[in-house]
Structure 1
Amino acid sequence: MQRRTSATHRDRRCWLALCLCVSAVSAAAAPSWQERLTAALAHIDAAPDGPRIGVYVRALGSGESASFQAEQSWYLASAVKVPVAVAVLRGIARGVYQLDTPVTLRADDYVDGAGSTNRQAVGAALPIRYLLEQMVIHSDNTASDMLIGLVGLAQVNAVTAEVAPGGFGPITRLAEVRRATYGQLVPAAHRLAGRELLMLRQQRDDSARLQYLARIVQVPVGDFRLATLGEAYDAYYATGLNAGRLDAYGELLAQLADGQLLPPTQTRYLLGLMERVVTGPQRIRAGLPAGARFAHKTGTQRGRFCDAGIVQPAGGTRVVVVACTRGELSLVRAERALREVGTALCRSGVLTQGVPDAPSCAIRPPALPAAGHADPP
C-alpha cells in the first residue's frame, strides 16, 4: 500500500511538472503586445490604398515601448503647438505673466488655418487663456503665432532641445511655414504679409493660388522655380523645419504626463486642454476602446497628417502614442490609417490589461472609395 501511495504522489508530481512546462511553453509562444502591434502597423503601412505611417508607443507604467519607423524624421505640422504651450505655461509658472494677461494682435500674426483669431482686428487685446484654448483645442495658427511672439522662438525650441537633444528640427512661426513654402516657388514670397496669406488660402485651388501669388509678387508663374504648389511643399518638407522623430515626440509627451515639464497646476491645465481637442475625431480616438480618455494634439498639412497624445484607458495605465502619415493627399484615407492605428493599439492588449482583441476594441473599418485630397489648412 505504501508503494502505491508513493507512486501516486510521484505521478501527481510529474503531472504538475508537465502542466507547468506546457504553461511556460504557451506563455513563451504567445506574442507580446509589441509584436502584435508592430505586425498590425506593418499591415496598415503596406495597404496599397493608404499612406505610409510612422508610430511610437510607450506604456508609462512599465516603460515598455514599440516603434514602427519612429526613428525617421516626420513632419509634425500643428503637433509643434504642444511645446509652444509648454513654453507659455512655464512663463506663467514663473510669474512672468498670467492666463488673463492680454496679447496684442499684430498685422504680421495673421495666418490661415482653423480657429477664430484671424477674424479679430489688428490691435485686439486677447488673453493668453483664449489664445491657448484656440491654439490647442482648435489648432488656431494665428493664436499660435501670437503666443510664439510672446515667449520667443528660442524658448519654444529650448523645450524640445531639453527633452530630446537632436530629436527635433527647428520650430518656426506658423506664418513662416507658408512663407517658406511659397518661397520655394519665388523668393519674394518670403515677404508676404499676413492678410496676403489669408487671401492665398481663400483661392479656389492651386492654380488660382499660383496666379494670385504671381500678381502679389509681380513675377509670372512661368518664371517660378517650381511648377506646382505640391512640389513647393515637398521642397519645404525637405528642409527639416517643424519636423522630428516620433520617439522624441513620445518622450515629450511622457515627460509632460509625468509632470517633468511643468508644475502640477500647469500640467493639469495643459492636459485638460488636450482632452478638449476638437480636431481629428476620426483619427486615433476613433479606434480607442469606449471610456478611454485621450489628451492629444493633431497636425494637418498637405500630404502630412499626425495625431499624438496620452491615452488613459478605463482601469488601465496611461499609454503614449504618436502617429504620422505621409505620401497620401486624401484627408479621408490618412484619417482612416490613423484610426486603424488606434484600433491596432487597442487590439494589441496594451490598453486592455494584457487582453488582446478585447471586445471593447473597434473592428477594422471597411475599405473606402477613392477620395480627393484636402487643401492644406
Structure 2
Amino acid sequence: MTWDDLDAHLDRVPGTVSAYVGRLDAPPTWTRHPDAAHYAASTMKVAVLAALHRAAEAGALDLDAPVPVVNEFDSAQPGAPRFSCAPHYDNDDAVWDRLGGRAPLRWLAHRMIVRSSNLATNLVIGHVGLPAVAEVWTLAGARTSVTGRGIEDFAARAAGITNTVTAADLAALLSALGTGASTPGRLASPAACSAMLDVLLAQEHREDLAAGLPEGTRIAHKSGWVRGVRHGAGLVLPADAPPYLIAVCTTTDPTDGNATGDGTEDDACLLIAHISAQVWAARHQL
C-alpha cells in the first residue's frame, strides 16, 4: 500500500474523510483534509479531561472529592433555561446509578472516557467551565477546534453554538499528552499527562481504530459518534516501533443508511479500522 493508494480508496467514499498520521513532535507522514471541520461528537471529551487535570494541578479542585451527581446544567446560550441529559443517549448506566448521590471527579472523568458517559461529561464541564476547555485547545496548538457547549444543550445548538474538531487538532491534543508524559509540556505535568493516557488506554469502545490493530496493541484513544459522524483519534504504542498518532474523522450523509449512530460496527467503523490497519502495516516507515 502507498499513501496515494489509500487516498484513492478514500476518494470513493461518500462524504468527508479527514486523517492525520505521524510521529510525536514531528511533521505528519500522511494527511487528508486535516483541517476540515467536523462535528466533534465525543472526541471533545479528551479536552475536557485535560481541563480537569489542569484545574486539579492548579489547586482549583480535588479530583478525589465527591461531588453531587445531578442532571441539570447551565446552557451556553445566555438566558436559556437549564438543560438535562437523556439516559437513552448515554453509554454508561454506572453514572446514572449515582444520580442523586455523589461521586469523585476522577471517577466521573474515567467514565466520561472509557464509556463515553454524556452525564459525566456535563458534570465535569460544570466544575471546570468551558473557558478552561478552550484553553486546552489553545495550549495544545489546535487551530480551529471549538468546544462551545455541553452535550444535549439544544438551546445552544439552536443558537449556532457547537463543538467542532479537525483531525490535525485532535492529533495535536494527543501529541501534547504523549510528549507531556515524559517531559514537562504545554498542558500538564508528566504525572498528570501519564494519568490521562492511562484513562485513554482503558477505553472500552474499540470498534474503530483499535479494531484495525493486532490484539493486545496498546492505544490511548477516544472515539466519537452521532448519526452521520464517526471519529477515532489515538496514540498507538507498538512494541516494535516508536509511538505514532492517528486521527480519522468521517462525516457522511445521515440518510445513506450507513451511519447508525449507536456505536455498532457500521461502515464508518469498518472504514476507520481499515485505515488503522494500513497505518499499522506502515508503522516502521512513519
Interval containing the TM-score (normalised by the shorter chain) = 0.7 to 0.9
Using the TM superposition, give the Cα deviation of residue 180 of structure 1 relative to its aligned residue in structure 2, in angstroms: 4.4
The CA deviation at 1:276 is: 0.8
Greater share of residues in strand? 2
Q: Which amino acid aligns with 2:112?
A: M
Aligned to 2:285: 354
Q: Equivalents in 2 of 1:288, 1:120: separation in Å? A: 35
CA contact (8 A) 1:161 1:167 kept: no
Aligned partners of 2:98 and 2:26: how far apart in 1? Answer: 47
**Residue in structure 2 matched with residue 21 of structure 1 by the alignment:** none
Deviation at 1:292, TM superposition (A): 2.3
Indicate the residue corresponding to 1:224 in structure 2. Answer: none
- Contact 1:291 1:313 (C-alpha < 8 Å) held by counterparts: no
Classify the secondary structure of the residue corresponding to 1:307: strand
Match of 1:205 in 2: none
- Among 80, 89, 93, the residue aligned to 2:57: 93
Paired position in structure 1 for 2:189 = 263
Residue 46 (structure 1) aligns with: 12
SS of corresponding position for 2:152: helix
Looking at structure 1, the residues matched to 207 and 70 of structure 2 have their Cα atoms a distance apart, in angstroms, of 34
| Structure 2 residue runs without a partner (length 5+) | 74-83, 261-265
Indicate yes or no: 2:242 matched with 1:308.
Answer: no
Query: Are the counterparts in 2 of residues 38 and 67 from structure 1 also a CA contact under 8 Å?
Result: no
8 A contact 1:305–1:334 mirrored in 2: yes
Whether 1:120 and 2:98 are equivalent positions in the alignment is yes
Paired position in structure 2 for 1:298? 223
> Residue 144 of structure 1 corresponds to which residue in structure 2?
121
Give the whole-Å Cα distance in 1 for the aligned partners of 2:111 and 2:62.
17
Check 1:62–1:86 CA distance in 2 against 1; reply closer, same or farther (3 A cut): closer
3-state DSSP class of the match of 1:108? coil
Instruction: Give the fraction of aligned pairs with identical amino acids, expressed as a percent.
Output: 24
Which amino acid is 1:246 matched to? Answer: A
Q: Which amino acid aligns with 1:43?
A: H
Superposition RMSD in Å = 2.2
> What secondary structure sits across from 1:266 in the alignment?
helix
Q: 1:95 deviation in Å?
A: 2.6
- Output aligned runs, 1:157-306, within 5 Å: 157-164=134-141, 166-176=143-153, 178-180=154-156, 183=158, 239=160, 241-259=162-180, 260=185, 261-279=187-205, 281-306=206-231
* Structure 2 counterpart of 1:354, one-letter code: Q
Instruction: Quote the offset at 1:337 in angstroms.
Output: 0.9
> d(CA) in 1 for partners of 2:248 and 2:69?
33
Letter in 1 for 2:236: V
Residue 179 of structure 2 aligns with an amino acid whose one-letter code is D
What is residue 81 of structure 2 aligned with on the other side? none
> 2: distance between equivalents of 1:271 and 1:247?
19
Contact 1:303 1:326 in 2 (8 A): yes
- 1:306 is paired with a residue whose SS is strand
Runs of 4+ in 1 over 3 A off after TM superposition: 61-64, 178-181
Counterpart code for 1:292: T
CA contact (8 A) 1:292 1:312 kept: yes
Matches within 5 A, 1:94-109: 94-109=58-73
Instruction: Give TM-score, length-normalised by structure 1.
Output: 0.64
Tell me if the contact between 2:145 and 2:164 (Cα under 8 Å) persists in the aligned partners. Answer: yes
What is the total number of aligned residue pairs between the two structures? 258
Higher Rg = 1
1:119-164, Cα deviation, whole Å (9 max, x unpaired) = 4333x21111210111011000110001000011111111112223
- Supply the distance in 1 between the matched residues of 2:250 and 2:161 (Cα, whole angstroms): 16
> 1:96 aligns to what SS in structure 2?
coil
Q: How much does 1:94 deviate? A: 2.1
Change (3 A) 1:61 1:248: closer
Contact residue 44 and residue 340 of structure 1 kept, 8 A? no
User: Is 1:115–1:140's contact at 8 Å kept on the other side of the alignment?
Assistant: yes
User: Per residue, is there more helix in 1 or in 2?
Assistant: 1
Report deviation, 1:167.
Answer: 1.8
Q: Determine the structure 1 residue equivalent to 2:40.
A: 76
SS in 2 for 1:265: helix
Deviation at 1:267, TM superposition (A): 1.1
**Aligned residue identity for 2:278:** A
TM superposition score normalised by structure 2: 0.82
Q: Residue 300 of structure 1: SS of its match in structure 2?
A: strand
Matched, 1:133 2:110: yes
